[in-house]
Each structure stands twice: as C-alpha cells, then as structure tokens.
C-alpha cells in the first residue's frame, strides 16, 4: 500500500502540473499572437514614417516645388509678369479701373 499511495500521489501531482503548464501555455500563446500583431503595426508605422520623411524632403526640395508650381499654376503669366518691369507710364496707357495706390509711412 505504501508504494500505491506514493504512485497515486505522483500521478495526481503530474496531472496537476500538466494542467498548470497547459493553462500558462495557452495564455502565452495569446500574448505571443498579440505581440506579433503589435510588431507588425510597429513595422507598418516605421514604413509610414519613412514615406513621410521622403515626402517631407520632397516637399522642402526647391526643384520639387518648382515642378509642383508648373503643374498647378499658369507659368506663362507668372514668368511674363516677373520678367517685365512696370512703371507708371504702363498704367497710364492702359485703362485700369481698380488700381489702388499704396503709401508707406
């Protein structure tokens, strides 16, 4: 009987240890899946930051801004206006109705 009670006690101890290990194993599997999701979100965020850095550098690049200006604005009017100087005689020759005079103090 002595051996039987010892063997029975070891079997019960092994079964309880097995249930505890399975319980914590399932919990760690859930945590591992959450960690994989979090790490994939971190990787996506890092890729977005890289893209934003490229867009930022392109946005602050002067040549890129000139290309955008050519796409969205009428360059012919602006370039002709910038290259030509206007004096008071030009205003007198044209019939302008809405000309405002600005005075600085």
DSSP 6: H
Which residue's entry shows tokens 């019960």? 12
Q: Mind spelling out the 3-state secondary structure of 52-66?
A: HHHHHHHHCCHHHHH
Q: Give the domain ranges of the chain.
A: 2-76
By C-alpha distance, which of 38, 13, 50 is closest to 58? Answer: 50
Which residue's entry shows tokens 């290259």? 83
pLDDT tens per residue, the chain (105 residues)?
Answer: 788 999 999 999 999 999 999 999 999 999 999 999 999 999 988 887 777 666 676 667 777 767 767 777 765 555 544 555 666 666 666 666 665 666 666
């Amino acid at each position: 009987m002595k051996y039987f009670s010892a063997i029975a006690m070891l079997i019960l101890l092994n079964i309880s240890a097995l249930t505890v290990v399975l319980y914590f194993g399932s919990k760690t599997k859930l945590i591992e899946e959450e960690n994989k999701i979090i790490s994939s979100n971190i990787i996506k965020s890092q890729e977005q930051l890289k893209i934003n850095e490229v867009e930022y550098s392109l946005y602050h690049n002067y040549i890129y801004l000139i290309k955008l200006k050519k796409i969205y604005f009428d360059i012919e009017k602006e370039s002709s206006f910038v290259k030509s100087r206007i004096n008071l005689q030009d205003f007198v020759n044209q019939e302008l109705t809405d000309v405002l005079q600005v005075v600085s103090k």
